[in-house]
């Protein structure tokens, strides 16, 4: 048995209603690894993350996390086990303050005593959030909102962080800043990540391994440094 | 004379505010119009009626019974009825609560018949006077408890973790789910809190006035007015709206007589909405 594996997805089919969107997905995330999940619009990246989070039930296949079969576990259970998603479009609680948003990230945590410590760690990571902690999340700039979404996700102390379209709608400089912070998180916390990106270059540079999805199927997988040299990928995704 | 009218309006307004809040939170948080809420208030009153007659308790001290009884009823209604059809949208859930209202009325008819029933606490007719204004003890008690409950509820939503998780669910159910919040349970809890508050108001109501199974229907216009004028889902707004309605009612009764009370009430309601379409405290980030 491979004990370093955190998440294992086998033969997964999923979709909406009767309409399948994902076919025959096999995916593995090892401990302390960053996985890139790449592909164009409508490829099924978000759907796959939502299956992992338990928002969507698969039609077929198995999902294991920490050697436990979680195929039909509810979202609450999965957050408790250590799977946290930072969703596409951030989905902050706009009418609540930054601090309230962050605290809700720790909703399932039992050790409420260490919550303040968690908050401090987030504020250290993103000092901009500390300055705005009592501001409504809906009034933050796009970059600040993404920082708040990441902070909220980290408050649950995840073992596996699913990040959907981190760079979406952000200026390159802001993306760089957030990437530096994420690298720090990765180095300091014992966690793995699945990074969904339309910016294939960014996704490949930041990950150890990557999967490329096209219309619901995995068409390529391997070490990111290999994929970035792959002529097909360079042609269809990097425009080179 | 003017002082008396003002005080009457204020005292009545506190009660309106609190039943309005109980109705408003269910809409604000779940987008459900609970057409049975008036009758739930009445069920709280019947619990007080039954307990005070059977056990010989002072009706006021039956407050915990109506709160607990309606909390359980509300939780079950949400869990076994509304949650099952919640995806159907506003029309389906409104039909459901409409039907539920009829069922609850009929249960009350079966047990208590159509007669008016009341309580008669020993402090019933007693009052005191301040600067020429008469204040009945019962009315003051109702006002104080109603306002107290409203404030406690607002603090619960603002300051507690559970309260924040309910607000978060209202603001963004999908994100709430991703935080590990159990949305189904959150909805049950919200409905239960609303019902419990309604039940408590029933106990207060029957301290002052007798009720029949149909009395709940009379509350419906008040529930809607307070919720909409206050800005849907806003508790401070509902508090203000309740008191405004109490005042309007009190003044219109004085100037135009009791027959025109509802006409004036509706007219003011429409006027306020023309000038303040989101109510007193409609918020930018609230649905
Ligand atoms: N709620 C939904 N109901 C029905 N179909 C959906 C739903 N959400 C997504 N789909 C469909 O599923 C397919 C995959 O969508 P998904 O959002 O997973 O793609 P994606 O790779 O995340 O795309 P993007 O990069 O644009 O975010 C698309 O064809 C989309 O139309
Ligand atoms: Mg997507």
Pairing state between β A60-65 and A68-69:
antiparallel
**Residue A240 has what pLDDT?**
64
A94-108, B18-32, B165-179, B270-284: least confidently modelled range? B270-284
Tell me the best of A15, A25, A46 to mutate to test the pocket of ligand 1, counting ligand atoms within 8 Å of each CB and taking the most. Answer: A46
Q: Which of A93, A100, A136 sits opposite B172 (nearest CB)?
A: A93
Please, is B91 exposed, middle or buried when counting C-beta atoms within 10 Å of its C-beta (0-12, 13-18, 19+)?
A: exposed
- Closest Cα in chain A, distance from residue B287 (Å): 10
Q: What are phi and psi of B234, to 5 degrees?
A: -90, 120
pLDDT of residue A78: 97
For residue A29, give the 3-state DSSP assignment.
strand
CA of A89 to the centre of ligand 2 (A): 9
What's residue B281's pLDDT?
A: 66
Ligand 1, atom 22, lies closest to the CA of: A46
Q: Residue A18, SS3?
A: coil
Q: B49 with B163: CB under 8 angstroms?
A: no
Q: What are phi and psi of A84, to 5 degrees?
A: -130, 140
> And the tokens for A14?
């999923």
Residues in chain A, pLDDT under 50: 1
pLDDT recorded at residue B134 = 92
- Residue B284's pLDDT band (cuts 50, 70, 90): very low
Predicted complex ipTM: 0.93
Q: Find residues 93-152 of chain A whose CB sits inside 8 Å of chain B.
A: 93-96, 100, 103-105, 107-108, 136, 138, 152
Residue B235 — pLDDT band, cuts 50, 70, 90?
confident
Q: Residue B283 above 70 pLDDT?
A: no
Extended strands (E) in chain B: 127-130, 133-136
Q: Look up the pTM and report it.
A: 0.91
Which residues approach ligand 1 with their CB closer than 6 A? A 16, 21, 39, 41-47, 88, 198
Can you tell me the distance from the alpha carbon of A27 to that of A48, in angstroms, rounded to the nearest whole number?
10
- Which run of H or E residues covers position A132? none
Residue B276 confidence (pLDDT): 75
Q: What is the pLDDT of residue B287?
A: 34
Per-residue model confidence as pLDDT tens digits over B15-57: 999 999 999 999 989 989 999 999 999 999 999 999 999 998 9
pLDDT for B279 beyond 80: no
The Cα of A151 is separated from the nearest Cα of chain B by a number of Å equal to 12
Please state whether beta strands A209-214 and A68-69 pair in parallel, antiparallel, or not at all (unpaired).
unpaired
Q: What is the radius of gyration, based on Cα positions, of chain B?
A: 19
* Planar angle of CA B76, B81, B86, nearest 5 degrees: 120
> pLDDT value at position A9?
97
CB-based contact B177 A55, cutoff 8 Å: yes
Do the beta carbons of residue B229 and residue B25 sit within 8 Å? no
Alpha carbon distance A53, A39 (integer Å): 20
pLDDT of B1 strictly over 90: no
CB contact under 8 A, B180 and A76: yes
Are B164 and A100 within 8 A, CB to CB?
yes
Q: How far is CA B59 from the centre of its chain?
A: 19
Helices (H), chain A: 45-53, 75-81, 98-105, 115-125, 127-131, 142-154, 172-188, 200-206, 224-227, 231-236
Spell out which residues have Cβ within 5 A of ligand 2, the ion.
A 46, 88
For residue B173, pLDDT over 90 is answered with: yes
For residue A39, the ligand 1 atom closest to its alpha carbon is: 21
Q: Is the pLDDT of residue B6 over 60?
A: yes
Residue in chain A closest to B159 (alpha carbons) equals: A100
B162: nearest CA partner in chain A: A107
Closest of A12, A14, A36 to residue A25, by C-alpha: A12
CB pair distance less than 8 Å for B165 and A94: no
What is the per-residue pLDDT for A159? 96
Provide the edge-to-edge strand list for the sheet that holds A34-38: A83-86, A160-164, A192-197, A34-38, A209-214, A217-223
Residues B47, B52, B57, CA angle at the centre, nearest 5°?
A: 130
Instruction: Using pLDDT thresholds of 50, 70 and 90, give the confidence band for residue B271.
Output: confident
Q: What does the pLDDT average to over B271-275?
A: 80
CA dihedral for A94, A102, B233, B243, sign (positive or negative): negative
């Amino acid at each position: 048995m491979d004990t370093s594996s955190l998440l294992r997805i086998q033969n997964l089919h999923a979709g909406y209603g009767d309409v399948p969107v994902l076919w025959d997905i096999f995916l593995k995330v090892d401990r302390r690894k960053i996985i890139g999940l790449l592909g164009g619009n409508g490829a099924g990246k978000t759907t796959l993350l939502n299956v992992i989070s338990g928002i969507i039930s698969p039609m077929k296949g198995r999902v294991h996390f920490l050697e436990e079969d979680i195929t039909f576990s509810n979202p609450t259970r999965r957050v408790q086990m250590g799977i946290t998603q930072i969703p596409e479009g951030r989905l902050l609680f706009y009418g609540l303050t930054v601090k309230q948003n962050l605290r809700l990230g720790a909703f399932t945590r039992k050790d409420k005593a260490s919550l303040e410590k968690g908050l401090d760690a987030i504020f250290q990571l993103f000092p901009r959030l500390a300055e705005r902690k009592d501001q409504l999340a809906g009034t933050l700039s796009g970059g600040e909102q993404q920082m708040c979404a990441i902070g909220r996700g980290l408050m649950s102390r995840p073992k596996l962080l699913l990040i959907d379209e981190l760079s979406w709608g952000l200026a390159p400089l802001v993306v760089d800043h957030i990437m530096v912070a994420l690298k720090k998180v990765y180095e300091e916390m014992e966690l793995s990540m699945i990074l969904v990106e339309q910016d294939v270059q960014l996704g490949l540079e930041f990950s150890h391994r990557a999967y490329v999805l096209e219309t619901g199927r995995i068409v390529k997988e391997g070490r990111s440094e290999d994929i970035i040299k792959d002529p097909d990928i360079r042609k269809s995704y990097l425009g080179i | 004379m003017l002082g008396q009218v003002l005080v009457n309006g204020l005292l009545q307004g506190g009660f309106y505010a609190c039943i309005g809040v109980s109705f408003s939170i269910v809409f604000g948080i779940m987008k459900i119009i609970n057409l049975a809420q008036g009758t739930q208030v009445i069920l709280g009153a019947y619990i007080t009626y039954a307990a005070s007659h059977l056990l010989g308790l002072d009706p006021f001290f039956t407050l915990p019974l109506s709160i607990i009884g309606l909390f359980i009823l509300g939780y079950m209604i949400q869990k076994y009825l509304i949650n099952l059809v919640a995806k159907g949208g506003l029309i389906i859930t409104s039909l459901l609560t409409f039907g539920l209202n009829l069922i609850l009325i009929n249960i009350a008819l079966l047990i208590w018949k159509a007669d008016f029933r009341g309580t008669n606490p020993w402090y019933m007719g007693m009052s005191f006077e301040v600067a020429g204004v008469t204040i009945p003890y019962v009315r003051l008690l109702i006002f104080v408890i109603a306002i107290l409950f409203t404030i406690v509820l607002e603090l619960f939503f603002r300051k507690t973790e559970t309260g924040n998780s309910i607000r978060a669910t209202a603001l963004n159910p999908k994100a709430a789910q991703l935080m590990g919040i159990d949305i189904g349970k959150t909805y049950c809890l919200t409905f239960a809190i609303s019902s419990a508050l309604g039940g408590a108001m029933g106990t207060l109501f029957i301290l002052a006035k007798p009720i029949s199974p149909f009395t709940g229907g009379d509350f419906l216009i008040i529930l809607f007015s307070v919720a909409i004028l206050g800005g849907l889902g806003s508790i401070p707004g509902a508090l203000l709206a309740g008191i405004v309605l109490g005042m309007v009612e009190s003044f219109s009764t004085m100037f135009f007589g009791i027959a025109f009370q509802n006409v004036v009430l509706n007219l003011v309601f429409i006027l306020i909405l023309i000038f303040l379409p989101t109510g007193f405290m409609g918020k930018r980030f609230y649905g």
